[in-house]
Amino acid sequence: MGEIRPGLRIVERPAPHGFYRELGAVAQALGVRHEGARVLEVEVNGALVTFELEINSGTVVGLTLTLVPPGPALPDEPAILLRREVAADRAGKQRGINVEVQLGDPRFDQEVYVDSDAREDEVQRVLAAPSVRGAVRELLGAGCEKVRLSRRGVEATWTTKGNDGLFDGPRLVSALQSVVTLAAAGGPHARGAPARGGWLVALTTLGLAAGVPYFLFARATWTTSAGLPLAGAVAGMVVALALRPSLARVLAGGSSSFARYRNTAAMLFFALGFHGAALPVHLNGALDGSRPTVVEGAVSELGARDDEDGKTDVVVRWSDGTHEDVRVRSPGTVGQRVTKQRHQGALGFGWWEAPVFH
User: How many other C-beta atoms can be found within 10 angstroms of the C-beta atom of residue 240?
Assistant: 21
Supply the mean pLDDT for the chain: 85
16, 22, 28, 29 alpha-carbon torsion, rounded to 10°:
-130
CA 152 → CA 132, 135, 179, 184, distances in Å? 17, 18, 13, 12
Q: Report, at the CATH architecture level, how domain 293-357 is classified.
A: Beta Barrel (2.40)
Sequence spans of domains, the chain = 2-185, 203-286, 293-357
Identify whether the C-beta of residue 83 lies closer than 8 Å to the C-beta of residue 113.
Answer: yes
pLDDT surpassing 70 at residue 162: yes
pLDDT surpassing 80 at residue 345: no
User: How many other C-beta atoms can be found within 10 angstroms of the C-beta atom of residue 31?
Assistant: 13
Burial of 44 (0-12, 13-18, 19+ CB in 10 A): buried
CA 277 → CA 208, 217, 267, distances in Å? 13, 11, 15
Confidence band for 181, pLDDT divided at 50, 70 and 90: very high
pLDDT digits 0-9 by tens, 49-88: 999 999 888 889 999 999 999 888 888 889 999 999 999 8
pLDDT surpassing 50 at residue 1: no
Confidence band for 145, pLDDT divided at 50, 70 and 90: very high
Confidence band for 106, pLDDT divided at 50, 70 and 90: very high
One-letter amino acid of 147: V
Looking at 142-151, 164-173, 348-357, which range is the least confident one?
348-357
Report the share of the chain in percent with pLDDT over 90: 36
239 backbone dihedrals φ, ψ, rounded to 5°: -60, -40
Confidence band for 6, pLDDT divided at 50, 70 and 90: very low
